[in-house]
Amino acid sequence: MAKESVDVCIIGSGAGGAPLALELGRAGFKVVVLEKGAWYQQTDFVHDEIMNSRRNFFMPLPWDEPHLWRTEGQPYQRTNEAWTANCVGGGTVHMSGFFYRLKPVDFRMKTELGAPAGSNVVDWPITYKDLAPYYDKAEAELGVSGNAVPHPFLEPRKGNYPLPPLAEHPVAGEIDKAAKALGWHAIPTARGIVSQPYRGRDPCVYCSLCGSYGCEHGAKSSTAASLIPAAIATGKVELRPKCMAKEITVDEEGLAKSVIYLDADGVEQEQPARVIVASCTAVESARLLLNSKSSRFPNGLGNDNGQVGKNLLFSSFGQSKATFSVKKRGEELPWLHANLPFVNRSLQDFYVLPDERFGFRKGGTLGFMWSHPNPIFAAVGIARKGEKGVFGKELKDKLRTYRDSRILEFEIYGEFLSNDSTYVGVDGNVKDKFGLPVAAISIKRHPLDFKMTQFLVERGEEVLQAMKPDRVDRVGTAGETTILQGGTCRFGKDPATSVLDPDCRSHAVKNLYVVDGSFMPTSGGVPLTLTIAANSFRVAERLVASLKKGG
């Protein structure tokens, strides 16, 4: 059944969709936001590891809604990799809230550092200067706590963060000393968590369960806690949860006409709109466009040049952990007894290397944190170690040692080099519970990704070793963080090589926009969430102006 037409229909309510909804509502335009997932309230967020991390509270089950995943030369496997939270607010609800900006070099990587052989790296069609005012806006609207201190890769800023930094565990000072002795700069990590009352939201209570959990106090700066309530308060934005978009239709002129979706009761509905915006994550927006076939677009909506789904990006990942025994070292290291959950320290000294002596130029960020306190996750990890696993008394002894330990770790957010063999397609032979062809992800990692990640892991281990832990264990140097997604609908000035124009509007469909991470030509060396939100505020300003002119 076709509903009354609105000015804009947005598919997705996360870091991309919510800023656009807010700004359009403020400008007086009628907006409908279709969200696939549930609209959780703060009372729904409880510290239950099984519910949050091992059921489908956030992520769909792979037998209901699989993604297909293959590395080069291998067959597809069903997985829930590359899903983010399916709920109002998307991945911003269960994020840890590490908020970094990209650097000016990220926008001109090909020009300044070159495109490594085997990659297809390109420059962005905008510069850091173009996006900087919208970073300011995103930090203020979402609520970001931090302290921007001088360091070699500090991005240009007008001022400090909107909120003062969160209280830090004293181990942060130990990291500062270790990094300084090595000639490096440990810097405070900005967080999408409010450190004091902010715009009607309560401040952080330091519960230690940010990542993988929703915030029961509204302190985490998810779009569900910040932008969505403000958008609804305009009176112009209607949010429809549990609505699964199936297809974007087009009219006889090839313009986007409506969104066909299944409502909360499983009934098919049609929402017409002057403008349609996809913001479902880079993987899922590509899937939606590729599944939206018509006589005008037989290969998928806006896919005349075959670029929809191409140039998929994640974040290169590496990790190591340092273990300190509280019983043995507590008197020597009194900071082990402190209970504050936040380390909030990063290293960006190796964001770009000055030359090719290590075989690469573009690096990334090391973020330090205490190991996540989820007990089941820890126990399963310990039990799986070794060729045969750990059982019985040996497992109990290791769990007792774990409970006596403080584990300091770091994670790498590294450049993920785009290439022609890493992309999203759809597979009509495998369908989800809605009867739709699922996203089929093909991945080929560039060799420099691994070289870079290993280098950064080794530098992080130098910091950990300088703190004299009982031991340091390397977790890995060849991973990827699939909840951090970009590419698939690159923006650019040339319609032959990009899907979107510099305003994130489809080259082929003039009233279709994509505002999740799909637009990004490169991944940068930081998590993408803040950049996605900032870009959405930028696009919103241009779309509002266009709609006011009758566009």
Instruction: Answer whether residue 1 shows pLDDT above 80.
Output: no
Q: What is the CA angle 277-281-282, rounded to 5? A: 95
Q: Domains along the chain?
A: 6-149+169-548 (3.50.50.60)
Q: How confident is the model over 375-391, as a mean pLDDT?
A: 88
Cα separation values, 176 from 171, 173, 226, 461, 487, Å? 9, 5, 32, 14, 35
Helix (H, G, I), strand (E, B) or coil at 453: helix
Residue 430, classified by CB atoms within 10 Å of its CB into exposed (0-12), middle (13-18) or buried (19+), is middle
Query: What six digits make up the tokens of 380?
Result: 């399963």
Q: What is the per-residue pLDDT for 396?
A: 92
> In terms of pLDDT, which residue wins out, 378 or 29?
29
Measured CA to CA, the distance from residue 284 to residue 487 in angstroms comes to 12
Q: What is the per-residue pLDDT for 72?
A: 85
The share of the chain scoring above pLDDT 70, in percent, equals 100
Q: What is the per-residue pLDDT for 104?
A: 98
Whether the model clears a pTM of 0.75, i.e. scores above it, the answer is yes
Helix (H, G, I), strand (E, B) or coil at 312: strand
Measured CA to CA, the distance from residue 390 to residue 132 in angstroms comes to 51
The share of the chain scoring above pLDDT 90, in percent, equals 95
Measured CA to CA, the distance from residue 67 to residue 439 in angstroms comes to 5
Helix (H, G, I), strand (E, B) or coil at 478: strand
Q: How confident is the model over 297-326, as a mean pLDDT?
A: 98
Q: What is the CA angle 248-253-256, rounded to 5? A: 20
Paired strand residues for 77: 69
Query: How many CB atoms neighbour CB 88 within 10 A?
Result: 28
Helix (H, G, I), strand (E, B) or coil at 166: coil
Measured CA to CA, the distance from residue 463 to residue 459 in angstroms comes to 7
Query: What six digits make up the tokens of 322?
Result: 């340092």
Question: pLDDT tens, 66-89?
Answer: 999 999 889 999 999 999 999 999
Question: pLDDT tens, 314-360?
Answer: 999 999 999 999 999 999 999 999 999 999 999 999 999 999 999 99
Q: What is the per-residue pLDDT for 509?
A: 98
Query: What six digits make up the tokens of 485?
Result: 């997604």
pLDDT band at 495 (very low <50, low <70, confident <90, very high): very high
Q: What is the per-residue pLDDT for 385?
A: 84
pLDDT band at 251 (very low <50, low <70, confident <90, very high): very high
Mean pLDDT over the full length of the chain: 97
Instruction: Answer whether residue 95 shows pLDDT above 90.
Output: yes
Q: What is the per-residue pLDDT for 387?
A: 84
pLDDT band at 550 (very low <50, low <70, confident <90, very high): confident
Query: What six digits make up the tokens of 321?
Result: 């952990």
What's the DSSP call for residue 91?
A: G
Measured CA to CA, the distance from residue 456 to residue 366 in angstroms comes to 7
Q: What is the per-residue pLDDT for 485?
A: 97
Instruction: Answer whether residue 551 shows pLDDT above 80.
Output: no
Instruction: Answer whether residue 140 shows pLDDT above 90.
Output: yes
Query: What six digits make up the tokens of 266?
Result: 């499983």
pLDDT band at 405 (very low <50, low <70, confident <90, very high): very high
